[in-house]
Copies of this chain bind each other. A is one copy, B any other.
């Protein structure tokens, strides 16, 4: 019986023990490299989501067969781990900028988290994958390191930096998946939901009716920024508390 920790894609042990994949030459067709497979899979996931993604679809797009794909990757699960890693690299490149413009750590971290949120919003079909994976591949590690270093640079003790970072990432991914996941509410849905709330029985749902506007009218990013403000405010209080 094989130790399962070494076979579950995306786990630390799996990253540590995986064999770097190679390239296969094919007569008359572009070589089928590992990179081309991951890039093709990332494209399809971005377009239609990881549920609708299928090995057959990818094989067709790369002009090969599913069995050949299985010679490069262990299966769909493993491929999705590489897809996450692929997107994290792009997100890092996109956000190498910013920072430094303010002295209040809350402004800097708010902008960083808003950038992360916007990057997720730009690739909604990626979000469900981040919910089921804690990214510990090279790009995932680098993002985590930079973020914690940023907080420590603002004078946070290591413990509060780690916990604040965890809370912020959890909040952002959790908010994004509820807002942008397949089948999430569109703006039209929110309008319809507001109308629905307002038409409810006034005796049974007085508060829901009174709050209908606030419950549904907020633009997605504003709703995210509000909660983010609450969290940053709470962390700041913990940071400046005596003791």
Which residues of A are interface residues toward B (Cβ below 8 A)? 5, 11-13, 15-16, 131-134, 136, 141, 144-145, 148-149, 152, 158-159, 161-167, 170-171, 173-175, 177-178, 181-185, 189, 192-193, 195-196, 200, 204-208, 210-211, 214-215, 218, 223, 226-227, 229-235, 237-238
Partner of A185, one of B134, B189, B200, B206: B134
As for how many copies of this chain the complex holds, the number is 2
Contact of A207 among B13, B148, B229 (CB under 8 A): B148
Task: List, in ascending order, chain B residues with CB within 8 A of A207's CB.
Answer: 145, 148-149, 152, 158, 161
New contact pairs (13) apart from A158-B214, A166-B227, CB-CB < 8 Å: A5-B192, A131-B177, A132-B181, A134-B185, A144-B208, A149-B206, A170-B227, A171-B174, A174-B177, A177-B177, A230-B230, A233-B234, A233-B238
Kindly state the separation between the CA atoms of A172 and B91 in the bound complex, as whole angstroms: 26
Taking a contact as CB atoms under 8 Å apart, the answer to whether A181 and B231 are in contact is no
Distance A54 CA – B237 CA, assembled complex (angstroms): 48
Question: With a CB–CB cut-off of 8 A, which chain B residues contact A164?
Answer: 230
